[in-house]
A and B are shown apart, each in its own frame.
Chain A
Amino acid sequence: MFSADSTPIRSIIMTTHNPKPGESINGGEALVRALELEGVDVVFGLPGGATLPIYDPILESTMRHILVRHEQGAGHMAQGYAHATGRPGVALVTSGPGATNIVTPLCDAQIDSIPMVCITGQVPYAAIGTDAFQECDTTGITMAATKHNFLVSEAADIPRIVHEAFHIATTGRPGPVLIDVPKDIVDANNPRSAMQWYQAGDADMELPGYHPAGAGDREAIMAAAELIRQAERPVLYVGGGILKARAAESLLELAELTGIPVVTTLMARGAFPDSHELCLGMPGMHGNYTAVTAMQQADLLISLGARFDDRVTGRLDGFAPDAKVVHVDIDEAEIGKVRAVDVGVRGDCKLVIDALIECLAELGGPDAQADRSAWRSKVSGWQEKYPLFYEQSRPGDLLKPQYVVEQLCDLNPADTIVASGVGQHQMYASNFWKFDHPYTWINSGGLGTMGFSIPAAIGAKVGMPDRRVWAIDGDGCFQMTAQELVTASVEQIPIKVALLNNGYLGMVRQWQDLFYEKRFSGVELGPDVPNYVKWAEAMGCVGIRVDSPEEVAPAIAKANEIDDRPVVVEFRTDPEENVFPMVPSGHTNSDVVVHPAQRGE
């Protein structure tokens, strides 16, 4: 029998990392080993009382642990890692405040379908419900913020639950899964942690209610193909699901086969090359005129892994009034949730697109497609008349943020990964950066989490160390999560941050400017405090300040030369600049407002 003060249960894992089936091992070691067996190479975390027993075996693990400065950072890093690599990101935080601090990233990952596994410490099982120190109801709090969560009650369940968690996080519609681990079952000093090791496989999973979608119904796909064949004004409406399904190549084939123009939503930027003649760019509230209007006037929307978000549709009763809808989604609950469909296909986007291509071939291939030449010329007419536009700054004026983004794009390789925060800078980045590769754009689309970019960029760089990673951030966002640049410095993760400092919470300011008679309330941050260059330097980064257009390119070049530490380039930008086009809230997309200089022609 064990007692609480008996010799710690230590096993051979401490030296070999490879326990044999049936070998005595403790739950903490089992957790670490189970993570390794899921292919986890990096864990973003911050320890605490409840996770001490998990952090001990981590010292012997092959996994890299990255010590964050705030648990929110751990969550967004795991998201950035997952966005960039397609592999689930892993975060490890303690009970109570550790868990509550990571709720925002979980919510973010849930709404943007990011695969991640979050492990939270919990007070000992017997103490749950007693309001113990650093206790909170983590599974209760995160129920609506995760795809699924587990509270582990026995050490012996750990390998199975870890395998189930990764399975759920990465299959079907991906999402965050949380495993809440009471301290006693991982504590080498506690008899409740004793277990016999086993490697959990698919056969061990106990998930009788989980059946992720597969290939999609062939009859429905054929019906979709027939609608596509006949459509004279179709648009491929492409969402983040294309990227989750690794379907960018299939999409390219479908678009070229049919000659149908493509819009890529905020979550799908890069899923279809911006340089392609069929690419119309981003639709929605701050989409470009052509993407918005093409959807609005379409006779068929082919929605692939998109969910008719309110930021895309504008006022729903006036959205794409003449369009029939084909909706392909891996999540059946999305089909018809917002907009009634003519054909719904529940399935993996890649498999469904490949089947669509086969069905279109059966229906006669490119020659059998409706004549779309009039549609294409209409679309290119809009592109010509209303391109993305901004006015260059006059000498002595503050920088235009769009110019900074264009310069960044021009002076970096095409496969550079861009991570953005939330606000005006996010819209400038998503519109004015030209994305020609999938998985190069990382942002918080659904939840709109300010402060996302720096930790997400760090996670992306950890996952893709050979790629250049730029965070494009605003000053409001920067102040929310900048402390993770300390993590980046110490861990030698050389990301680059383009800080567009306009001294305001710019997007809120824009709405007050346009819809609240310029009554600016609670939006002024001021450009000078904090001193961003000094702050960057204090965190171990290189800090550079840029005030004028001619300094922009040299500063970017200088930042690109530095590869041994993070760089923050502060660009002083014009607070008066607003994001256009814009569909005012409550209006239909037919009311899209272009840049003032493009109006009244």
Chain B
Amino acid sequence: MQDFEYTAPTSLEGVIGLLSETWGETEIYAGGTDLVTCLKQGLTAPRRVVSLRNVKELKGITILDDSIEIGAATTLTTLLGNAELAKHATALIQAIEGINSKQMINVGTLGGDLCQRPRCWFYRNGYGLFGIEDGKSLIEDGDNRYHAIFGNDGPAKFVSASSTGPALIALGASLIVSGPEGERTIAAWDFFQTPQSESDRETALKSNEVLTKIIIPKNETQSATYEIRHRAGLDWPYVTASVAIGKEGTKVVLGHVAPTPWVSDAAGKALNGRVKKADAEKAGEVAAEGATPLSQNAYKVAMVKTAVKRAVLRATGQEEEA
């Protein structure tokens, strides 16, 4: 790991002033749970690391009349203990519960979960976001068992690693980012993007911007997240589904199947507020339509069907035994 300059300003303005216009020059340290590993793995070698530890305005949960505002540097453990979130954002809480490591969520932050880099093993071993060696994709002909089954027609075949992204999209959350030109609001869905070149990133965040706030509307929504995973301990799931069933409609968002969280409009429409077991099953089938699995991950298609079905049943109190 290359050494760097460490700074810990006390204001958001101070943080922004220290960030570079060029990716890779500076890095933001929130909880550090991903950044420290990225530094060790040589995935980034910044000249300066800017810590959010002293920026109080980025921490805490504010309950408003019609929304819940979460500071991006709030730890995931803090969110787990919040009764209003348990009520209005059940899918988010269940997604955090899926990160089954107290050590991780005591330090890891909501903003950090959204901004973490992909876990694709080709990426983590130095072959770039697209896993290319000598102009050839290591992913297409290699071990792609954990890779994307949707949105994988371009060079990006990794899956978004965010645990909370799918739930936040299902809940209709918006994100606030701040930079030198001020503040902008981005729908959670628009925050995630699929890189088309190695210089692209996985989110809409610019290198000199800070994700500051996550705003969740307080709708009368029944929501849930269901994860299908190899082991109960700390690991990433194979496939997740977050659903939110409200007056405005039904949203179904898949996780770990595409380079971004993957919204299935068709599954949402198929449900359209109907939540009987047969409807949930049908929604799962619709959600799996159009999947383009790689050579080793067709198993994920079946998991999409089950995850969607079980998320719908979980959201509506009809949970079945796994």
Q: Do A and B bind each other?
A: no
Q: Which residues of A contact B (CB under 8 A)?
A: none
Q: Which residues of B contact A (CB under 8 A)?
A: none
